[in-house]
Structure 1
Amino acid sequence: MVHYEVTNDIAWVTLQRPEKQNALSFEMFKQLDKIIKVIRSDHSIRAVFLQGEGEHFCAGLDVKSVTKRPMQILKLLAKILPGNQNLVQRIVLGWRTLPIPVYAILQGNCLGGGLHIALGADFRIAKSNTQVAIMESRWGLCPDMGTSIIIPSYIRQDNALLLAMNAERINAQRAQELGIITTITDEPKKYVEQQVDALRHHSPDALAAIKLLYNQAYQQPSRKLLWLETWYQIKLLSSKNTRIAMKNGVKNSDTQPYQKRTRWK
């Protein structure tokens, strides 16, 4: 479901569920986590290309698949200490810990968890038909994949709130205006290959130092935010309004009214 190969010192990571728009299953989370560790241990790799097979990058979490097995939800969110990264956070933030450039090659739908993974990359190179969205509020949930740490370096707070609250899709041009997409091109693979060819003229140690230094400069303090992401999600999963939202989010279902907001402070 996630294919990994190294070709000419480039690590290719391909989401392979095109029949499901590469929606993320529990197994894919585990595979991505393992692949990040494998790449980190291979010092010969000069760059990572993340891509989705078929017409779409990733439509987000395969909600039906994961919710059929409640233990999978617990395994996705579980962490030893509150400030540690859990599985869903590791497959986003893990790309940023790699001392090499990571490029996400986007096309079609890049939604929910798919967008969070792409935001974990250093660069997002998109086809003009790309659409992005932060989808969690549609299901009565909040973003919990670690992007609260990195999204302030891309986008203003008001625009981030609009995206996360409305759960509406925006096109590639608008996403680039906001700072989510780096470059739009109808030949994204050719573009990233040219970028890496240019970087081969520079010391890999210098590139590693630059990436790690700038990540520290732009990154928010992480441990408290990582805990809040997980805690808010756990609290929402136990909310009656979340169950209503999940029913309302299904197409052709009758819309039910929400109950009064619970206490948050």
Structure 2
Amino acid sequence: MVQFETIENIAWVTLKRAEKQNALSFEMFKQLDQIIHKVRANRQIRAVIIQSEGEHFCSGLDVQSVIKRPSHIFKLLIKLLPGNQNLVQRVVLGWRTLPVPVYAILQGNCLGGGLHIALGADFRIAKPNTQVAIMESRWGLCPDMGTSIILPSYVNQDNALLLAMSAERINAHQAKEYGLVTVVHDNPIDYIEQQINSLRQHSPDALAAIKQLYNRAYHPPSRRLLFLETWYQIKLLCTKNTRIAMKNGVKGSDSKPYFKRAKWK
């Protein structure tokens, strides 16, 4: 479901589940995690390009398939220590740890988990037909894939809150204005190849040092944020309102009223 190949020292990572708009299954999370380790181990690689087959980048988590297997939810969220990264956080923040530039090519729907993975890339090149959204609130959940660390350097707090609370889609040009997209381009591959050819003229060690330095400057480590993301998600998964939200979020379903809010500090 996720293809990995290296061509002329460029790693191509391709989501291959077009019939499901490349919705993320449990197996895809595991494969992406393994690919990040493979790239890190290969010191010949000069750049990574994340792309997808079909008309859409990724419609987010395949909620229906994951909730059918409660053990998969546990495996996605489990971590040895509260501040460590779990699987869903690693497939976003892992791209940041790679000592090479990482590009994501976006088109069509780039929603929920798909947008979070794209935000883990250093650069997001979007086709004009791209739509992005932070979708978790539609299912009664909160974003929990590590982007609470990334978003503050991209998006103002009011816009981040609006996107996350409303789960509304915005187009590619709006996403660029917000800072979620780097460039809107009709032919992202041409654009990225030009960028990579230019970067090949520079020392790979210099590029690695620059990326590591700027990651520390813009995204300081925050083990507490990683803990809170997971803790809030687990708390939400245990509430009656989340079960109602998941039913209400399905197209064509009758909307049911929510219970009063739980205690939040």
TM (norm. structure 2) is 0.99
Q: How many residues get paired? A: 265
Secondary structure, counterpart of 2:76 in structure 1: helix
CA deviation profile, 1:217-263 (whole Å, cap 9, x unmatched) = 00143200000000000000000010110111011111111111110
Distance in 1, matches of 2:254 and 2:179, equals 36
1:40-189 alignment runs, 5 A limit? 40-189=40-189
Distance in 1, matches of 2:221 and 2:94, equals 16
* Corresponding letter in the other structure for 2:32: L
Distance in 2, matches of 1:198 and 1:12, equals 18
The residue that corresponds to 2:217 in the other structure is 217
* Corresponding letter in the other structure for 1:223: R
Secondary structure, counterpart of 2:234 in structure 1: helix
Distance in 2, matches of 1:132 and 1:222, equals 26
Distance in 2, matches of 1:159 and 1:106, equals 21
* Corresponding letter in the other structure for 2:215: N
The residue that corresponds to 2:8 in the other structure is 8
Secondary structure, counterpart of 1:92 in structure 2: helix
Q: State the identity %.
A: 75
Distance in 2, matches of 1:254 and 1:220, equals 44
Distance in 2, matches of 1:221 and 1:16, equals 32
Distance in 1, matches of 2:70 and 2:80, equals 19
**Match status 1:27 vs 2:23:** no
Runs of 4+ with deviation above 6 angstroms: none
Alpha-carbon RMSD across the aligned residues, in angstroms, is: 0.5
List alignment gaps of at least 5 residues for structure 1.
none
CA deviation profile, 1:140-184 (whole Å, cap 9, x unmatched) = 000000000010000000000000000000000000000110000
CA deviation profile, 1:108-145 (whole Å, cap 9, x unmatched) = 00000000000000000000000000000000000000
List alignment gaps of at least 5 residues for structure 2.
none
Distance in 2, matches of 1:261 and 1:62, equals 27
Secondary structure, counterpart of 2:11 in structure 1: strand
Contact 1:150 1:220 in 2 (8 A): no
What is the Cα deviation at residue 82 of structure 1? 0.2
Distance in 2, matches of 1:221 and 1:101, equals 20
What is the Cα deviation at residue 77 of structure 1? 0.1
* Corresponding letter in the other structure for 2:40: R
